[in-house]
Amino acid sequence: MKNILLIFLLTGYYSVFATDKKFPVSDIPDSMRTDAHAVIRLQEEKVKVNSLSSVTHLHHFVVTILDENGDRAGALIAPYDRLQKVININGALYDEEGTLVKKLKSKEIEDISAVSDNNLYEDSRIKVHHFLNNKYPYTVEYFYETEITHTFFFQPWLPQTDNHTSVQYSSYEIEYPNNSSLRHRDFNISKPVMSKMENFSALKWELKNKPAYKTPDAFSFWRDYTPAVFTALSDFQLGDIKGNMETWKGFGISQYQLWEGRDVLPEQIKNKVKEITSKTAGKKEIIKSLYKYLQQNTRYISIQLGIGSFQPFDANYVAQRGYGDCKALVNYMHSLLKEAGISSYYALVNGGDDNFSRTRIIEDFPSFQFNHVILCVPNGKDSIWLECTSQSLPSGYLSGFTSNRKALLIKEDGGVLISTPQYDYTTNKQLRNTSISLDENGDASINVETTYSGQMQDVLFDLTHNNSEEKIRKVLTRAIGIPSYDLNNFKYVSEDSGIPVLKEELAITANNLANVTGKRIFISPNLLSRYSDKFLFDSTRKTDFHFYSSYRQIDSTEILLPGKDYKIEAGIMPVFIQSDFGKYSLICSLKDGKIICRREFERYDAVLPASRQKEILDFFGKIYKADRSRMVLVRGGE
């Protein structure tokens, strides 16, 4: 009797367990499976602002992994550092039917450093776990909590960061005390629902049934198609600093507190500044000399420890060690200038190559959106900008990493959003003269003289500046778009006249530049200035085209043929293309045994609607083709 009861109980218990299936894969509609490697079944992000110095963030997500390429979507990656800690991690693995396979044991969680470069002193770490299951599909579920000790910024909510992951349901809720005010900025998502309680208010956003998608591939801007919510409190606290960031002015006031009083130089450096300024006349020249002194005596080492992620090491620290991160070096430069009686301002920016278009800040949403800091020295109507982490940039020039965008000046009386220098196509230039002498075998000796200026020289500037000849040669040996060549000679000369200019001379022997058959020569006259991006028409595209930088290329090419008796069998028709976002022309001719080509290409800053896709693709497609066009010449009169 006892045994029977026991069996009955066990069966009963078992059946309860068995019906308690969670997230069976059969519940996923087909539309969520198309093009997806993983499906977010449920994600709930819940942020609770307890006070200005205490925030609890509850994370809960359930992801079904459809195939092995979805494995990465099923990983737990919980970052932490001295300002936030991760606690209460729980997790579970379910099979296709939704039966619990196993639960996460805390000893299985890895705790690893998130620092990869040996030049970095950082405290960022991650807790990582991965249920690597062999059988697809499977489902994982994780919970964890983050305890954050500041309200300076909140992680933006990005419910769909991977285009091969679909989202069945995702929500983000932020609860904050009624005596504070929360601001938000939403992209590609429906409006939040607001609820009010006695002491707290809450906003909640939801994303439902969002299929996997194709990333628009040309000139797209991520905020145009990725769902995203940015939130910020007006009153905030970071360490001992309290402030209000409802306006950039207020944001700047609090930032000023982080920087204030850290500009005291040791005596010997003060003397050094005196020594430099006594030998130099004129504000611009003094700035230049002190900037040079900075460049020669310091170097960049990333140091991000706790509050040090936002607050610079003081001037003395840099003076003692000769290194610092961007904040410390900007602060040091500021201190050197101050000693010379020149005032300057810290300028927060979001650095990054413009072409990736990830760097635009939301200008009317005062909040912490920056990853870098540079120095701005007011000087009449043209401020002088200094990138303090570089040992080689000319004084006053910003590369594509920080130019052409908004920066926040931090002044004693608050922040001001202003533009960093914008360089257009009259500055960003590549002017090239190529002369080619072709022999009977199709081999050629080639001399190229190119003058790069502004942002057109950024990449080469990095390569050629202070790099050994051997290293430059190694890069050049692979970089030039000629099928087979020897680089005989090269030379770079930098000119610093406000806007950097780099003059390049190359002497190349190409082994088979032209194809010479019995009576014909096949040659593509444009060797080095070929437009390289190819785009396919995307009928689903809805997002704008963003062209951020503006530049001009002019090429003059002369090809001396191995004889004067060649005539054109198939020539290159002149090409003229003009649009509001660029223009292009190519003209080639043959005269006295010489091919002469002139190519001009300009592209401008522009944001264009998706409706113009055909025209845009056509524009670049024609250029792509024209840049590769070929000439066929025949010998003698036939």
Partner 1 sequence: MLTFAMSAFAQQKNEKSPFDKFGKITNENLSKTIYDIDSNANAVVLSNVGDSYLEGNSKGWFSLRTSVHKVVHILTEKGYDEASGQIRLVVTKNGTEKISSFKAVTYNLENGKIIQTKIGKNDLIKEQVDENNQLMKFTMPNVKKGSIIEYEYQVLSDYMSIPDPWYFQSTTSPTLWSEYTFGVPEFFTYQITTRGFIPLLTQDPFKKQETFRISESRTAGSSDAVDLKAEVLYRRWVVKNAPELKEEPFTKSVRNHLSRIEFQLATQQYPLEFRNLRNSWQDITSGLLESDQFGRKLNSNNGWMKEEIASTISGETDPLAKAQKVYAFVRDNFKTTTPYGIFMTDDLKNVFKTRKGNGADINLLLTAMLRNINLDAEPVLTSTASHGYAFEFFPMINSLNYTLCKLEIDGKTYFLDATQSRLGFGRLPDYCYNGYGVVVNKSATSVQLSSDNVTESRKVTMFVTPNENGYSIKMKKDEGYYHSFDIRNDISDEGQSKFIEDLKKNYPQNTEISDVKLEGLKDFNNPVEVNYNINFPDDGENIIYMNPYFGENYSKNPFASTDRTYPVEFPYTQDETINASIIIPQGFKLDELPKSVKLKLDEQGKSYFEYLVQNSGSVVNFKSRIVIGKSFFMPEEYNNLREFFNFIVKKQAEQIVFKKTAE
Write out the residues near partner 1 by the rule CB under 8 A.
35, 37, 67-69, 110-113, 115, 118-119, 121, 125, 132-135, 296-297, 299, 301, 320-323, 391-392, 442, 466-471, 474, 477-478, 483-484, 486, 511-512, 515, 517-520, 522, 534, 536, 569-570, 621, 624-625, 630, 632
Determine which helix (DSSP H) or strand (DSSP E) holds 583, and give its type and residue range: strand 582-591
- Going from the C-alpha of 33 to that of each of 8, 65, 265, 312, the distances in angstroms are 41, 10, 62, 48
Q: How far is the CB of 310 from partner 1 (least distance, A)?
A: 19
Q: How far is the CB of 482 from partner 1 (least distance, A)?
A: 8
**DSSP string covering 290-316:** HHHHHHHH-EE-EEE-GGGGTSPPPHH
Q: Which is nearer to partner 1, 133 or 549 (CB)?
A: 133
Q: How far is the CB of 47 from partner 1 (least distance, A)?
A: 29
- Tokens for 86? 């991760």
Q: How far is the CB of 81 from partner 1 (least distance, A)?
A: 13
Q: How far is the CB of 139 from partner 1 (least distance, A)?
A: 15
Q: Which amino acid is at 261?
A: G
Residues 6+ apart with CB under 8 A from 184: 192, 203, 229, 230, 231, 232
Q: Which is nearer to partner 1, 51 or 517 (CB)?
A: 517
In whole angstroms, give the CA distance from residue 9 to residue 271: 88
Task: Please classify residue 410 by burial: count the beta carbons closer than 10 Å to its beta carbon, then call 0-12 exposed, 13-18 middle and 19+ buried.
Answer: buried
Q: How far is the CB of 278 from partner 1 (least distance, A)?
A: 17
Q: Which is nearer to partner 1, 71 or 339 (CB)?
A: 71
In whole angstroms, give the CA distance from residue 85 to residue 105: 19
At 383, is the secondary structure helix, strand, or coil? coil
Q: Are 566 and 521 in contact (CB under 8 A)?
A: yes
Whether the ω angle into residue 216 lies within 30 degrees of 0, i.e. cis, is: no
- 324 has which bridge partners? 300
Q: Which is nearer to partner 1, 111 or 363 (CB)?
A: 111
Q: Which is nearer to partner 1, 104 or 238 (CB)?
A: 104
- Tokens for 345? 């301002």
Q: Which is nearer to partner 1, 312 or 366 (CB)?
A: 312
Instruction: Indicate the pairing of strand 302-304 with strand 345-349.
Output: unpaired
Q: Are 438 and 444 in contact (CB under 8 A)?
A: yes
- Going from the C-alpha of 123 to that of each of 77, 302, 521, the distances in angstroms are 16, 11, 63
Nearest Cα neighbor of 537 from 618, 626, 628, 625 is: 618
Q: Which is nearer to partner 1, 409 or 595 (CB)?
A: 595
Q: How far is the CB of 348 from partner 1 (least distance, A)?
A: 25
Q: Are 366 and 379 in contact (CB under 8 A)?
A: no
Q: How far is the CB of 148 from partner 1 (least distance, A)?
A: 22
In whole angstroms, give the CA distance from residue 588 to residue 67: 54
Q: Are 167 and 205 in contact (CB under 8 A)?
A: no
Q: How far is the CB of 282 from partner 1 (least distance, A)?
A: 26
Q: CA dihedral in degrees (99, 104, 110, 114; nearest 10)?
A: 60
Q: How far is the CB of 487 from partner 1 (least distance, A)?
A: 8
Q: Which is nearer to partner 1, 512 or 579 (CB)?
A: 512
Q: Are 447 and 434 in contact (CB under 8 A)?
A: yes
Q: Which is nearer to partner 1, 386 or 523 (CB)?
A: 523
Q: How far is the CB of 136 from partner 1 (least distance, A)?
A: 10
Q: Which is nearer to partner 1, 19 or 540 (CB)?
A: 540
Q: Which is nearer to partner 1, 232 or 514 (CB)?
A: 514
